[in-house]
Structure 1
């Protein structure tokens, strides 16, 4: 549902706060523990806050689905949560000293989260290896993003590669080669080959695994990494992390490396991990892969639009062009309308 932030109410006890949409949310039961009062007291004060219009209910309350224990069972329920404004307003009425303490803590947490992009509970992570491993995996995923990898490699080049020239063809080729060496090591396919092999309008989400919206965009369909499975992605993250660590170490040590030295290290890294090395790079099929991705995406979107029109699509009939009678209606539906339609379906 959200990022859970534990708020310490004593040396050995804490209350979980949910961080969503740049603010904190908590249940009435949580507020009762936070201020050490009965839930009925919390409910009474909240009623007064809303009756006097100090705060509006619609802006203050949201329902989130949480898991609650009921005897030996776990039951999912939609439970009302109250935001930071409600917590502070309540704190003035219940116990001003504790409210002041909470406001100071909440302001510090929010400031750190907004400024740095994260808040770390070091004590909890030290005592919970599983949570620490999950955090490490998430950081590894973020660092393995092409933008971050290439930025770090670029810094390594600037400091360490004696023959580095940012605008040279060799540098541009190395960036493309780096990406495809990782793809080939994991799947025995380059980025273009991944698209040719896995992009298909008949597949769920046209074969893509990673995409932002409810269904993939045309641009996302043209990115080979988006077709990698969860396991393949994680293995690529591990390789990327190892290469980044070398790049950072080389930069700090001011090693005098050439472009060929860096390429050789990448090959050695792949061999050390038991992966095949992709040599003699030239992407002969990139144009074909881009055309294939666009063509499959257009067909995929057409089917989604037909389904939006309430038409049950038969793939064989679609391949034969038997739905072209709906072409005007299909073309009249924008991608934005299609996304809104799918969002509405998901909320049902």
Structure 2
């Protein structure tokens, strides 16, 4: 069986209709299941490590009526075979009705229900789908992402593909990943010796050349200029855990990349990604290369891309920049500790609300004339 799978941030066919990535944030990816004979084609949702389908999609999958699906699901829950709370969830769907988009919350059933219904419906499609779903779940658990190469090659979901490429570039330019790739490449140098001062200086030179080409500063100069204990997030624009709402950590403030704006970050990511590709291609030629040769290759690459080439060590040392960043972090943390906690802010808000209500109630009381008794 040659079933196809598609992961996309937007649903473009069948029951889903047109839907933007923003409208499904936090509701998973969409996958397209299609049998080899193309008789069964169902768009399903992948979320929370499971496959989710509506009753209508179940009817399409097992090629039976919606009434039969309803009866099977009712029997499954009434018999206690599965618990509804654990296997059924509402998800927002956008459908075209009479030429306009309509948002509806529809019940979706997870893979356990899908397979249980397939057993009761006695459909061979259930066996096919179970195999496909198992493959998709294994792929996600091992890779953390589901992709359809053929759909991307056709140019479908171009916006999502560009976003995915941007994320990959950002990951590749992270210091941990970048240095691992650089280490693999430069370890082929005939004069390479790990943990020597020469090697460390060489890595710093490579990093600074790329930063200079992206924004005109060395890594240390950038940190020195932009770290600020008084600024929001100390002047950092991105850091590990930022997307999950995690605060700035001490290890974040010494990374120059974390201070770049969106345009600078995109430029650096592209330079790093392109250079790694060029360097890997050069390494495949198996020509003897010294570390100086590799440095020259970087200059040649930057000239080809018409970027400025760093010819000096910079005005600020790495130790000086790191010392300033860590001192600023200590000052920043002291300010954060002095701020009221969320519980304290809630308590203060509750007190203020009580005072306002009391004042309003006093104003609402009738004014008593002089001599009147209470």
TM-score by length of 2: 0.73
Instruction: For residue 141 of structure 1, give the secondary structure of its aligned residue in structure 2.
Output: helix
Query: 1:142 aligned to 2:168?
Result: no
Looking at structure 1, the residues matched to 259 and 198 of structure 2 have their Cα atoms a distance apart, in angstroms, of 27
Higher Rg:
2
Does structure 2 conserve the Cα–Cα contact (< 8 Å) formed by 1:306 and 1:312? no
1:175-190 paired onto structure 2 within 5 Å: 175-190=203-218
- Tell me the equivalent position of 1:151: 180
Which residue among 22, 29, 33 is the counterpart of 1:7?
33
Which residue among 111, 114, 119 is the counterpart of 1:84?
111
CA RMSD of aligned residues (A): 2.9
Looking at structure 2, the residues matched to 65 and 202 of structure 1 have their Cα atoms a distance apart, in angstroms, of 42
- Of the structure 1 ranges 145-154 and 108-117, higher mean CA displacement relative to structure 2 is found in 108-117
Does structure 2 conserve the Cα–Cα contact (< 8 Å) formed by 1:113 and 1:119? yes
Instruction: For residue 63 of structure 1, give the secondary structure of its aligned residue in structure 2.
Output: strand
Deviations 1:89-127 (A, max 9, x none): 111122430100101111122223333444332221222
Does structure 2 conserve the Cα–Cα contact (< 8 Å) formed by 1:222 and 1:294? no
Looking at structure 2, the residues matched to 302 and 69 of structure 1 have their Cα atoms a distance apart, in angstroms, of 53
Instruction: For residue 220 of structure 1, give the secondary structure of its aligned residue in structure 2.
Output: coil
Looking at structure 2, the residues matched to 146 and 58 of structure 1 have their Cα atoms a distance apart, in angstroms, of 44
1:39-78 paired onto structure 2 within 5 Å: 39-78=66-105
Structure with more helix by fraction: 1
- Tell me the equivalent position of 1:321: none
TM-score by length of 1: 0.77
Structure 1 unmatched runs, 5+? 314-348
1:312-323 paired onto structure 2 within 5 Å: none
Deviations 1:120-173 (A, max 9, x none): 3222122225154444333333333322222222121222x1110011112222
Q: Quote how far apart the aligned CAs of 1:25 are.
A: 2.1
- Tell me the equivalent position of 2:255: 223
Does structure 2 conserve the Cα–Cα contact (< 8 Å) formed by 1:67 and 1:77? yes
Does structure 2 conserve the Cα–Cα contact (< 8 Å) formed by 1:195 and 1:293? no
Looking at structure 1, the residues matched to 223 and 334 of structure 2 have their Cα atoms a distance apart, in angstroms, of 15
Structure 2 unmatched runs, 5+? 1-26, 349-374
Does structure 1 conserve the Cα–Cα contact (< 8 Å) formed by 2:235 and 2:259? yes
